[in-house]
Amino acid sequence: MKAIRYSRYEGTLEDLSPEEILSLLEDFLLDSGFSDPFQRYDPDPERQPTLEDLYDALLQALLRNELVPEDWMREARFAERKEETRLYQAIQGMIRKLQEAGYLRLPGEDPLDPVQGGYRGEAGEARFELTEKASDFLG
């Protein structure tokens, strides 16, 4: 007798909607005022999350939810430059999706025209801010 096996469709990282990405980041974004995990109730008022923090939070969320293909992890582990890996490029694409959907704004962008700012390469020094739309989504 022929057996049919059904399973849930699991799309790729590129298939995630901005809302799904924001849901993955919910803990990071709601906890972002607390910069030091050992001083949870003494947040640094000057500390602003960087794009590198956002990248790390996305990576942790993807790993926690087991959404990263094993070959991408292997590629990232042995890559000389993370910017050349599929994982890094997928995460950068997620950040762009959040920006294009109006959930994220980079410094220098006009809040009334979120697309005009574009994405700027190096993540180390850049900052980002959530828009009111993202705050409403997170509750």
CA distance 64 to 109: 32
CATH 3.30.1890 fits 17-31+47-138, yes or no: no
CA distance 130 to 139: 13
Contact between 78 and 41 (Cβ < 8 Å): no
CA distance 68 to 73: 7
pTM for the full predicted model:
0.67
> What are the b/e assignments for 28-52, b being 16+ CB within 10 Å?
bbeebeebeeeeeeeeeeeeebebe
* pLDDT digits 0-9 by tens, 57-112: 899 999 998 899 999 999 999 999 988 999 999 999 999 998 898 888 876 665 55
* pLDDT digits 0-9 by tens, 14-67: 888 988 988 888 877 776 554 555 555 555 666 667 788 888 989 999 999 889
Per-domain residue ranges of the chain: 17-31+47-138
